[in-house]
Amino acid sequence: MENTHHTGGHAAAHAEEHSFDKKAIWRTFWILLIITIVELVLAILHFSTGFPPKLLLNGTFIILTLAKAFYIIAEFMHLRHEIRNMIMTIAVPALLFIWFIAAFLWDGDSYRNLRNRYDPYHKEQSMPKKAPEHEGAKPGELH
């Protein structure tokens, strides 16, 4: 791994023996796999027993997803080993997503409320009728 080749111009920056250690790669792999399996188990658990309430479940899913994203970016994409300032140039613009998501979903929710309030026909069409279970088809089934 001696850095014997200087190509000039766009010099080669690849003598980072410490950072590509195979153990870390496989550790990341197992973490990602385990998180995915946990997500799957939770989804099936909720599906068959309804146990983790939907809101709690979704919160868990989002946290687990962000954890997976962190490991992919930090380890696979190797960002954790870059210079701090470079990490900041990625992380700071990513913060824009917070308001991007919050404002869009907020207004989406508001749009639903407005339609339900001012469009009774829409509300009637899209709200569940009494006791749909007895109609035969399970909810979410194909027609």
Partner 1 sequence: MANDSFHGHPEVVTTHEVHHDEHHVHHHKETFITKYVFSQDHKMIAKQFLITGMIWAIMGGLMSVLFRLQLGYPDQTFPWLEDILGRWARGGKISVENYYALVTMHGTVLVFFVLTGGLSGTFANLLIPLQIGARDMASPFLNMLSYWFFFGGSIVMLASLFIQTGPFSGGWTFYPPLSALGDASPGSKAGADYWIIGMALFIISSLLGGLNYIATILNMRTKGMSMSRLPLTCWALLFTAILGVLSFPVLLSGVLLVVFDRHAGTSFYLADIFVGGKALPNEGGSAILFQHLFWFLGHPEVYIIILPAMGLVSEIMAINCRKPIFGYMAMVGSLFAIAILAFLVWAHHMFVTGLNPFLGSVFVLLTLLIAVPSAIKVFNWLTTMWRGNIRFTPAMLFAVGFVSLFISGGLTGIWLGNSTLDIHLHDTYFVIAHFHIVMGVSAFFGMFAGIYHWFPKMYGRYMNNSLAYIHFWVTLVGAYLIFWPMHYQGLAGMPRRYFDYSQWLSFSQFSDLNKFISTVAMIVFAVQLLFVFNFFYSIFKGRRVTSTNPWHATTLEWTTPVRPGHGNWPGEIPEVHRWAYDYGKDGRDFIPQTEPVGPNESKHH
Partner 2 sequence: MANVVPANQKWWTGGKSPFNVEYGKLMMWYFLMSDAFTFGAFLISYGTVRFSSNSWPDPNYVFRSFPVIGEMDIPLAFVSLMTFILIMSSVTMVLAVAAGHANDKKGVIKWMLWTILGGLAFLGCQAWEWTHLYHQGAWWGRNPFDNIDGTAASTNFTNFFFTITGFHGFHVFSGVIINIIMLIMTIKGVFERRGHYLMIEKAGLYWHFVDLVWVFVFTCFYLL
Closest approach, Cβ 122 to partner 1, in A, equals 8
Residue bearing tokens 């195979």: 22
Residue bearing tokens 């939770």: 42
Report how many residues bind partner 2 under the rule CB under 8 A: 75
Residue 38 binds to partner 2 (criterion: CB under 8 A): no
Residue 82 binds to partner 2 (criterion: CB under 8 A): yes
Residue 70 binds to partner 1 (criterion: CB under 8 A): no
Closest approach, Cβ 106 to partner 1, in A, equals 5
Rounded Cα gap, residues 28 and 38, in angstroms: 15
Rounded Cα gap, residues 71 and 46, in angstroms: 26
Among 34, 107, 120, 124, binds partner 1 (CB under 8 A): 107
Rounded Cα gap, residues 51 and 45, in angstroms: 7
Query: How many CB atoms sit inside 10 A of residue 116's CB?
Result: 14
Residue 13 binds to partner 2 (criterion: CB under 8 A): yes
Closest approach, Cβ 93 to partner 2, in A, equals 6
